[in-house]
Structure 1
Amino acid sequence: RQRARGGGVDVDPVLIAAAEADHPGPRWLVGDLAELDLPDRFDGIVCAGNVMAFLAPSTRRPVLERFAAHLADDGRVAIGFGAGRGYEFDDFLADARAAGLVPDLLLSTWDLRPFTPGSEFLVAVLRKG
């Protein structure tokens, strides 16, 4: 039985230091998601906390491309962010497709409520496609 390994990446060294202090053990890296280049491939990638909406518009697709590059062939990426933050859900899904990721499941909350056209939040579970 394999154990799960976790870790994280943030451009802010203060946040990485806090993560290391609060959760020792996982690998925490200071870095830009748009330039991420690790030798590892992951079964699961989680991008929560409106990260996609906080990115500069010019880096959104490159971040999705880096997620796709780091995803195992049968892995999944779960990305969640809210509406009204400058990144329309349709634009995000188009960027994901352009980056080689396709939706497996679209939800309106992290507690698995169905996504509808009026949803104020999107959780997209994506795979390579």
Structure 2
Amino acid sequence: LQIWDTAGQERFRSVTRSYYRGAAGALLVYDITSRETYNSLAAWLTDARTLASPNIVVILCGNKKDLDPEREVTFLEASRFAQENELMFLETSALTGENVEEAFLKCARTILNKI
């Protein structure tokens, strides 16, 4: 298992595109307190689906669940995006660790089940 953090910033996009080659899975992570990060998801998803293996497993993760009062992206909105794009979805907190391991395990298990 290799894990690459692409930073998610537009200025690194041309560099990070090479990370997708041959990838079997991807976690698309946005910040629930930042509408801007959510609005970038479609472009990152297109890159993943275009540049990785054809059956790439993609998990959508809304991070910073611990900052719910500062939320700019609702759970329902992100759930709909995930459903429309056939993605698995969960909210995580890197601070508390909530659902972080679950996101990686869900991705790995789904990849293994496709083999």
Scaled by the length of structure 2, what TM-score is found?
0.49
Q: Which has the larger share of helix?
A: 2
Q: Which has the larger radius of gyration?
A: 1
